[in-house]
A and B are shown apart, each in its own frame.
Chain A
Amino acid sequence: MKAYRIFLTFIIIFKLGAGINVYAQDHEDQDKKEVEGDVVIKVKPAVKNAIFKGSQDIGYKLDVNNLYDEEQEGKFSYLIKTDLGEKVLEKSEDFKIGRKTKKSITVKIPPQKAGFYNLSFRFNLTQYDDTLHKVFGVDAETLKSPLHKPADFDEFWDKTRRELAQIPPQYKITLQHELSDADRKVYLVEMKSYNYLLIRGWLVVPKQSYKQPVHYRLPGYVVGLNPNYDTNHFITFNLNVRGNGNSQDVVNVGTEDYCYNRIQSKESYIYRGVYMDCLRGLDFLYSHPELGIDTSKIYVEGSSQGGTLAVITAAMDKRAKLLAIQVPLYSDFRLAKEVGLKYDKPEFPIKFFTRYINNNTDTSWDKIFSVMDYYDPQNFAPMVTCPVIMGIGLLDKFCPPRCSFSLFNHFASKKKEWFSSPDLTHEVAFDYYMLQNIWLGENFRLVY
């Protein structure tokens, strides 16, 4: 039957077209940048997340597109170093590519031991000289990192929590008419936290007839959070811890000073109050079921500093049922310092601490560690038992991937998964958020 054949052909073309479309979409942005008089190189790891198994070769495919109107000739080389800068392997070979042509190179590296490696591909050609930097991991889930947990760690935090409990929260919830709409109500939430500091957050409540799960978001490093309108499937609570966003009445320090503010002792360090602010925020959510909050379904989430704050919250307070973090800052801080000092030039946050030490002759890395050991999220990780999802960027110099995995591997959670974005720095790819949504649905048995 002719009509049937036409229909079937249409379906097959549609399926093929859809596949091509997905491919085209992925490559569209890169293709736009292609201009004459350039060499465009696309690097793809053999496994999508660039985390290889210790038993397998490490593979990369490089697609080289010579847009010059003349042949390019010279050397192609690659260099592998550990994340601490130790040379592992170096290779160099002749390379030639004709004018306006494309060529693929397959790089096969022998299996490596568990760890993270910096990989540089260098092209030194007639008119083109460039180096492409990549990072890959091997057996990341087997990486071990010692905890540097002080003997009185638990006692210190128990005492701090008791002090927080003594402070009446004095919650104040103000409906923000100008920010609310037909679908949701927005509230400014104020409360007293550790040392009687006033902190604020934004609560967005979609108008629903049933109790709703809660997305409790904590802020990045000196980042002010605004009301979160992203979803109608969760109540969202964005808390600005002291010194962030609209919680800067008393603590209002610069971006650089924040990370070492009052770091002279573990008792005075800024993050003591910051960590308690996070727990106070959870106190607020748990004590206000009348706002439609399903207190059995609160998940805590954050990126960078927010990731660390989320870890601390889930570790110290079991009322947080799920933990979603991206690029967690300060993880395995001692290792982060070692890795960070190997970069060509120091990056945040190690750069700030280095400057602080250089400007204060009475301090040292050991003194910093003696305080940071109380605050390193890795030391809290064994206390986390709820399901966890973590996203990282492999080119992240603020939160080196090995440090994130040190943290991840210490989580006591039975259900934990990770996602890596090989081409991103201090962020994660779109796919991660899609996965996180699916993960949330599974763990909370949500019907969206």
Chain B
Amino acid sequence: MKKIILICFCCLLLIPHKSFAGWPIGKYRDLFVPAFNYFKATDSWDANGKKIKGAPGTGFESFALNLFEGYGISRRLDFIASLPIVYQTSKFDGGSTKGYGPTDLTTGLSYTLLNSNYERFLSVQGSLITPLYNKNNPNSAIGFGSFGSELKLSYSGNIPKRILKGCYFNTEVYYRRYFAGDGPNQYGAFVFLGFILSKSNQITIDATAIKSVSTNRAFNNNISSIKDFSLIKPSVNFGHRFTRRFSMFVGGYYTVTGRNTAIGYGTNVSGIFHL
């Protein structure tokens, strides 16, 4: 009987998780996650965090397709790659700009440093950021246009049953450095909770915080070019498992607070393919 109970406990680990970046993918396992993201902002926060109402007809809008691929090289080591492709427009008084194409390719390795009963995992991830566009091209102003690197520490796993039943979590802190003279240096944090509703359904909530620091403190209507800013963005998602190889998540988010950045909301739809 004891064994039966133990094996049942293992089952939560086997439910597809949205926080795929925080968990070991597993040796020989292949994960492909395409995600569509829509973001729109009309208002903004100024350099002091004061809300600024946008003029009629102005704003920032972005459509993005993000392709994530993860492969378990060993029980502890995963390869990850992520490529966003965007189409974005910025409208301001007297004109507009648009940009499109692949943005920053992120490639890296994630290594599980510690595990607690194979239920909770502490991982470190190192990544290289490669811009796939020319920032001097007016149609390609879709990022900082410089190489960068990222170091991330994740702690994720099942929440002990006696605290919250049927829940899992992921927390991340990271440091990202772009190699251009004015950076930026970015400090990020991410917290995530997943609630299993049934065998196929779950709800997840998460929040992202980013602080980007640069000597270049200018505001830009094209928000993907702002180097000095900070923001907090919570998100809610609903996930459904269609088959053991395919799940989908649909959700929305809003920038609740920030500095020198846009006030925006967005929605995303992602598919998780276990190949």
Closest to A28 in B: B162
**Interface class of chain B by DSSP:** mixed
B250 within 8 A of partner (CB): no
A442 within 8 A of partner (CB): yes
A44 within 8 A of partner (CB): no
Q: Which of chain A's residues have a CB closer than 8 A to the CB of B75?
A: 438, 442
Q: Distance (Å) between the CB of A294 and the closest chain B CB? A: 13
Q: Which of chain A's residues have a CB closer than 8 A to the CB of B11?
A: 231
A105 within 8 A of partner (CB): no
Say whether A14 contacts B191, CB under 8 Å. Answer: yes
B268 within 8 A of partner (CB): no
Q: Which of chain B's residues have a CB closer than 8 A to the CB of A437?
A: 7, 10, 13-14, 118
Q: Which of chain A's residues have a CB closer than 8 A to the CB of B187?
A: 8
Say whether B10 contacts A434, CB under 8 Å. Answer: yes
A250 within 8 A of partner (CB): no
How far, in whole Å, are A14 and B274 apart by their CA atoms in the complex? 30
Segment with Cβ contacts to A, from B26-34, B80-88, B91-99, B138-146: B26-34
Given contacts A1-B230, A430-B6, A433-B3, contact A447 B163 (CB under 8 A): no
* Residues 1 to 52 of chain B near chain A (Cβ within 8 Å): 2-4, 6-11, 13-16, 26-29, 49
* Residues 312 to 338 of chain A near chain B (Cβ within 8 Å): none
Say whether B3 contacts A8, CB under 8 Å. Answer: no
How far, in whole Å, are A11 and B232 apart by their CA atoms in the complex? 13
**Interface class of chain A by DSSP:** helix
B116 within 8 A of partner (CB): yes
Please classify how large the interface on chain A is, using the bins under 10, 10 to 19, 20 to 34, 35 or more: 20 to 34
Q: Distance (Å) between the CB of B97 and the closest chain A CB? A: 27
B109 within 8 A of partner (CB): no
* Residues 1 to 31 of chain A near chain B (Cβ within 8 Å): 1, 3-4, 7-8, 10-12, 14-15, 18-19, 21-22, 25
* Residues 152 to 207 of chain B near chain A (Cβ within 8 Å): 155, 160, 162-163, 169, 171, 173, 187, 189-191, 199, 207
**B243-265 interface code vs A (CB 8 A; 1 in, 0 out):** 01100000000000111000000
Given contacts A4-B230, A15-B171, A231-B7, contact A434 B259 (CB under 8 A): no
A233 within 8 A of partner (CB): yes
Say whether A427 contacts B2, CB under 8 Å. Answer: yes
Say whether B259 contacts A433, CB under 8 Å. Answer: no
Closest to A22 in B: B116
Say whether A434 contacts B119, CB under 8 Å. Answer: yes
How far, in whole Å, are A430 and B4 apart by their CA atoms in the complex? 11
How far, in whole Å, are A442 and B191 apart by their CA atoms in the complex? 29
Closest to A445 in B: B28
Say whether B209 contacts A430, CB under 8 Å. Answer: no
* Residues 205 to 227 of chain B near chain A (Cβ within 8 Å): 207, 209, 211
Closest to A215 in B: B7
How far, in whole Å, are A169 and B221 apart by their CA atoms in the complex? 78
How far, in whole Å, are A1 and B191 apart by their CA atoms in the complex? 18
Closest to B118 in A: A434
Q: Distance (Å) between the CB of B236 and the closest chain A CB? A: 17
Q: Which of chain B's residues have a CB closer than 8 A to the CB of A25?
A: 160, 162
Given contacts A437-B13, A441-B26, A442-B26, contact A7 B207 (CB under 8 A): yes
B137 within 8 A of partner (CB): no
* Residues 393 to 448 of chain A near chain B (Cβ within 8 Å): 427, 430-431, 433-435, 437-438, 441-442, 445, 447-448
How far, in whole Å, are A28 and B218 apart by their CA atoms in the complex? 54
B136 within 8 A of partner (CB): no
Not counting A442-B27, A445-B29, a sample of 17 additional A-B residue pairs whose C-beta atoms are within 8 angstroms of each other reads: A1-B230, A4-B230, A7-B207, A18-B169, A19-B155, A232-B199, A233-B14, A431-B118, A433-B10, A434-B13, A434-B118, A434-B119, A437-B13, A437-B14, A437-B118, A442-B28, A448-B244
Give 30 pairs: A residue, B residue, CB < 8 Å, sorted on A: A7-B191, A7-B232, A8-B173, A8-B187, A8-B209, A11-B171, A11-B189, A14-B191, A15-B173, A18-B120, A18-B155, A18-B171, A19-B155, A21-B160, A21-B163, A25-B162, A230-B4, A230-B7, A231-B11, A232-B199, A427-B2, A431-B118, A434-B10, A434-B119, A438-B26, A438-B75, A442-B26, A447-B29, A447-B244, A448-B16
Show the binding face of B for A, using Cβ within 8 Å.
2-4, 6-11, 13-16, 26-29, 49, 75, 116-120, 155, 160, 162-163, 169, 171, 173, 187, 189-191, 199, 207, 209, 211, 230, 232, 244-245, 257-259, 274
